[in-house]
Amino acid sequence: MEKTGAIPPVLSIYMDVLRIVAAMAVLIDHLLLRRYHGTPRDLNAGFDFGADAVMVFFAISGFVIAHAAADRDPGSFAFARLTRLWSVMVPAVVLTFALDTWGRAINPGVYDGSFFNQLAFHDYIFFGLTFSNEWLWQSSRIGINGPLWSLSYEAAYYVLFAIALYMRGWLRWAVLAAGAAVFGPFVLLYMPAWLAGVAAYFAVRRGFFLPRTLLWVGVA
């Protein structure tokens, strides 16, 4: 595979701006939920723009991961992805467990089961190390930390992408099928957004660009 350079500065800045906008959209969308403002209904009912913002994150992730994999062998790719994910996921689940324990001691009524999934500490750590809380045809919220679902999806996409990129022949298709069965349909339903980012990366790498007018129509 030919060597690739760094992502052009203008494109990198553009993606950083997209990340910031998407992050703010997710934050505001969550703050509109009834559990934060105390009204009888969610204020974002009918226009859940936070979900759209997550799709932006997935597309950016697909672009960046495709770029990161271009010059790496399977071992270095796996090491880079695992260390990056663990550096976020493990501290997050430990902190979640600590805050859940503290919060339940202060105000147990908040943890009535509507948004809280009670787990033992070893379950927090298990999900933090394996990212499997959204796999195997089930969705298991980690304590009260619902947003961690997206990292479980991301990890699955990294695995499927690596299988498709590094394996060959019939074994690749067999392992892809096994992986898809393990991750389940809910994870796979969101994968086209992630793959759109991968496609965008290869389009940019090969110099394929859509007409500016068509791009503005797409933005609109």
Exposed / middle / buried, residue 73 (Cβ in 10 Å: 0-12, 13-18, 19+):
exposed
Lowest average pLDDT, out of 42-51, 54-63, 117-126, goes to 42-51
The pTM of the full predicted model, rounded to 2 decimals, is: 0.87
pLDDT digits (tens, 9 = 90+) for 119-146: 899 999 999 999 999 998 888 889 988 8
CA contacts within 13 A on the Cβ side of 56:
19
Bridge partners of 117, per DSSP, are 143
At 126, which amino acid appears?
F
pLDDT digits (tens, 9 = 90+) for 76-97: 999 999 999 999 999 999 999 9
* Encoded tokens for 144: 């009260």
Number of helical H runs and strand E runs in the chain: 9, 0
In degrees rounded to 5, what are phi and psi of residue 90?
-65, -50
Q: What is the mean pLDDT of residues 3-8?
A: 65
Bridge partners of 100, per DSSP, are none
In contact, 209 and 74? CB cutoff 8 Å: no
Bridge partners of 142, per DSSP, are 145
Q: Taking 90 as the threshold, does the pLDDT of residue 157 lie above it?
A: yes
